[in-house]
């Protein structure tokens, strides 16, 4: 039996969290046991997830008390007798867990990159740059969700294994009955519905979404935007939407476990991120066969269907608005499950391949 310790689930539901839920739920069985480590508290959504019965440890965060943090991690790793550490991060601001895993001779130590640029401030950027020089000294496996994410964390694509942000595609198949049910619940009638999934963080570029919405409303007032997610910038975005006169056109949703169904309510998916490791939400939107208008910062590996329109963030909100309205005319929705399997984004196949890779090597 392989025993895994997994790190990477934060206090907010996002792409990394969805990735881990997808993979671990398909990988865990009698032969593969998964445990988790959290800092300070366990996210509420973890208790409601498919992983709720997995064992976990709560360690004091390093910002609260570094000595307790170090002591807690040492205790977990020393006593856990793990075969695999799966270290999922967006930046290398701290690699203590990897260093300790090497010290306690955990055979398989995976450093897994999930983003392509610094999400934090200058200190985080400086620490990332510092640790980037030495991370491969402590990891035995280097994973990334894209070539961009590999370059960002490891400084190279060589020797880095790309792990696709795979999903259970059948859950996203378009269903008219689901669409009608949820639109009724959300008090949506005949409005054009534009959707976005992403935490309220500068990376996701919500301010630009509001600017685009303002232009869309100028051209077509019968429109709603669904913003799914939470985060520290949410109140700022709400205020900006109010100032822009489009607050009544926005439906804010958070802590949802039915994103696959909410995608059915939408007519266009808007994804103007400043940067992405890959963009799991975009994969999900394409699985639901939504027309998508995205920024040119998104890795090309995330583009799976012909219904994706790429726009530069240097273009005006008006030009983006026109692209969204043009895409909304494409109302046909197909079953994309086979396509996602062909593109190697089926979770069952990817999870089996990952288990086989680790078992054969370690």
238 and 328 inside one domain = yes
Q: Give the full edge-to-edge strand order of the sheet including 250-253.
A: 250-253, 223-228, 192-197, 268-271, 292-295, 308-311
Instruction: Domain of residue 301: give its range.
Output: 169-342
309 and 286 in a single domain? The answer is yes
Total domains in the chain come to 2
Is residue 106 exposed (0-12), middle (13-18) or buried (19+ Cβ within 10 Å)? buried
The pLDDT tens digits of the residues spanning 193-238 come to 999 999 898 899 999 999 999 999 999 989 999 999 988 899 999 9
108 and 197: one domain?
A: no
For residues 196 and 307, state if they share a domain. Answer: yes
Instruction: Let me know whether 291 and 152 are in one domain.
Output: no
List the beta bridge partners of residue 179: none
Q: Given this model, what pLDDT does residue 277 score?
A: 86
Q: Are 336 and 289 in contact (CB under 8 A)?
A: yes
352 and 233, same domain (yes or no): no
Same domain, yes or no, for 239 and 110?
no
Dist CA 281 CA 43 (whole Å)? 20
> pLDDT tens for residues 13-72?
888 998 999 999 999 998 999 999 999 999 888 888 888 889 999 999 999 999 999 999
* Same-domain check for residues 110 and 203: no
Task: List the beta bridge partners of residue 250.
Answer: 225
The mean pLDDT value of the chain amounts to 93
CATH of the domain at 46: 3.40.50.2000
Question: Are residues 155 and 107 part of one domain?
Answer: yes
Q: Are residues 112 and 222 in the same domain?
A: no
pLDDT (mean) for 339-343: 94
The residue assigned the tokens 């390093």 is 62
181 and 252 share one domain: yes
pLDDT at 116 over 90: no
Examine the domain organization and report whether 219 and 305 are in the same domain: yes
pLDDT of residue 354 exceeding 80, the answer is yes
């Amino acid at each position: 039996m392989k025993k895994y310790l997994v790190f990477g689930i934060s206090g907010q539901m996002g792409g990394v969290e969805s990735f881990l839920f997808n993979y671990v739920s398909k990988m865990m069985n009698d032969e593969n046991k998964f445990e988790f480590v959290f800092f300070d508290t366990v996210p509420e959504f973890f208790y409601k997830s498919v992983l709720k019965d997995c064992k976990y440890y709560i360690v004091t965060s390093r910002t609260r008390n570094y000595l307790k943090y170090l002591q807690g991690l040492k205790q977990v790793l020393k006593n856990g007798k793990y075969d695999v550490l799966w270290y999922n991060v967006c930046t290398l601001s701290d690699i203590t867990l990897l260093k300790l895993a090497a010290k306690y001779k955990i055979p398989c130590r995976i450093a897994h990159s999930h983003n392509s640029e610094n999400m934090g401030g200058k200190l985080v950027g400086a620490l990332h740059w510092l640790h980037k020089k030495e991370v491969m000294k402590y990891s035995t496996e280097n994973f990334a969700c894209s070539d961009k994410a590999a370059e960002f964390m490891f400084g190279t694509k060589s020797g880095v294994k790309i792990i696709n942000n795979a999903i259970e595609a059948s859950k996203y198949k378009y269903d008219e009955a689901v669409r009608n049910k949820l639109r009724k619940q959300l008090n949506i009638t005949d409005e054009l519905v534009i959707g976005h999934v992403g935490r309220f963080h500068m990376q996701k570029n919500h301010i630009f979404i509001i600017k685009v919405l303002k232009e869309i409303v100028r051209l077509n007032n019968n429109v709603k935007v669904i913003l799914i997610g939470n985060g520290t910038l949410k109140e700022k975005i709400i205020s900006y939407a109010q100032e822009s006169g489009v607050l009544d056109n926005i439906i804010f949703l958070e802590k949802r476990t039915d994103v696959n169904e909410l995608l059915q309510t939408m007519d266009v998916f808007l994804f103007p991120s400043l940067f992405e490791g890959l963009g799991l939400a975009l994969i999900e939107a394409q699985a639901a066969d939504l027309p998508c208008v995205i920024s040119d910062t998104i890795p090309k590996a995330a583009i799976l269907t012909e219904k994706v329109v790429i726009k530069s963030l240097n273009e005006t909100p008006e030009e983006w608005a026109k692209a969204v309205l043009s895409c909304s005319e494409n109302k046909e929705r197909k079953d994309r499950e086979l396509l996602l399997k062909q593109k190697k984004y089926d979770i069952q196949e990817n999870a089996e391949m990952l288990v086989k890779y680790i078992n054969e090597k370690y």
